Structure 1
Amino acid sequence: MGTREASILLGISRQRLLVLLAQGRVKDAEKNGRFWEIPVSETGMPVIIPARRGPKGIWHKQEPTKPKMIHVNQSKIKGNKGKPPEKLEPVLSVKDGERNDYGYDLYIPGPCHIVYRPYKPAKCGAHLWINTYNSVEFVDTKFNLNPATARQPSKQIYNI
């Protein structure tokens, strides 16, 4: 696999992975021209060799077993009707276990699965949601009407 896929699986930035590759800490990784070829172990993850000194690494040791849930909150959409822009509440939430993050505009960089379960809703009561194992990025966490700045990424990536 390449550096982009490996960094997403490991839950670290691509730049950090490039540093680990340069240090020779990714097991059996080879450079082929300009690109890195990173093998995966039996668990489907690249193997990082821990450093001898310093803090422990924070990369994922195995693939996540539970996806992130992206929920569009219908009751908040209805509640926002007729409100001025400065009073609008965020309608998108990313749920991962006990953690909830809210925003108005969300980017999903990889594959996702849209789920509709009218007879078996999620714990939060949602009947329709999106599941993904990838890191997601809120593009807008404060409602922004200025088109010049509304689509500027917030640099806030959630590895949840």
Structure 2
Amino acid sequence: MVGTTQAAQLLKICAQRVRQLLYEGRIVGAKKVGRFWQIPLFKGMPKVKVGKRGPKGTWRKRLSSIPTLIHVNSHKIRSNSNNGTNEPVIVVRSGSRKIEAHHVKINGSCEVIYSRDRPLDCGAKVLIQVDSDVVVKPCVFADMS
């Protein structure tokens, strides 16, 4: 379950449009708990019903062949140690999307890969590969102290 902001990020639309879809009853399984919406995910994405009028929606469809890659940015670890900062060091890449996080929860199977001869563009040689249908939840902590 995700909120309106996370659903907007997944669908690549603004949060106000997600709220409009919610009020129209077009997001499958969504329910309001108190003041907040709880939106279920189907294969990692909110499911939106087709509208009755107008053009088709152009929100992002999850590609089944592109895996999600997770790796650690060692430069930020060093920077955090030297400067006393708390920047997120875990990087989650899914297609062209890149999210930095302190904590990542993987709901499904994954694979740890050491790729000495074929590192990522950023230079990472050890990474976690997750199938595109597995839900990955990155989390950034505001203050760790």
Give 1:12's aligned amino acid: P
**1:1-160 matches, cutoff 5 A:** 7-9=41-43, 11-12=45-46, 50-53=50-53, 56=56, 64-84=64-84, 87-132=85-130, 133-145=133-145
Asked if the contact 2:50/2:56 (under 8 Å) is kept, the reply is yes
2:49, 2:46 → 1: CA distance? 15
Output one character per residue of 1:7-50: Cα deviation in whole Å (capped at 9) or x when no partner. 4426227xxxxxxxxxxxxxxxxxxxxxxxxxxxxxxxxxx984
In the TM superposition, what is the alpha-carbon distance from 1:83 to its structure 2 partner? 3.0
Q: Which has the higher contact order (CA 8 A, sep 6+)?
A: 2
Output one character per residue of 1:32-82: Cα deviation in whole Å (capped at 9) or x when no partner. xxxxxxxxxxxxxxxx98453477467876752111111111121122214
In the TM superposition, what is the alpha-carbon distance from 1:117 to its structure 2 partner? 0.7
Q: Which has the larger radius of gyration?
A: 1
Normalising by structure 1, what TM-score?
A: 0.51
Output one character per residue of 1:77-120: Cα deviation in whole Å (capped at 9) or x when no partner. 12221433xx2221011112332111111111122121111121
Change (3 A) 1:119 1:105: same
The unaligned stretches of length 5 or more in structure 2 are 1-39
Asked if the contact 1:10/1:61 (under 8 Å) is kept, the reply is no
Change (3 A) 1:60 1:83: closer
Change (3 A) 1:96 1:63: closer
Give 2:114's aligned amino acid: Y
2:110, 2:140 → 1: CA distance? 20
2:79, 2:100 → 1: CA distance? 16
Structure-2 residue corresponding to 1:151: none
Change (3 A) 1:10 1:70: closer
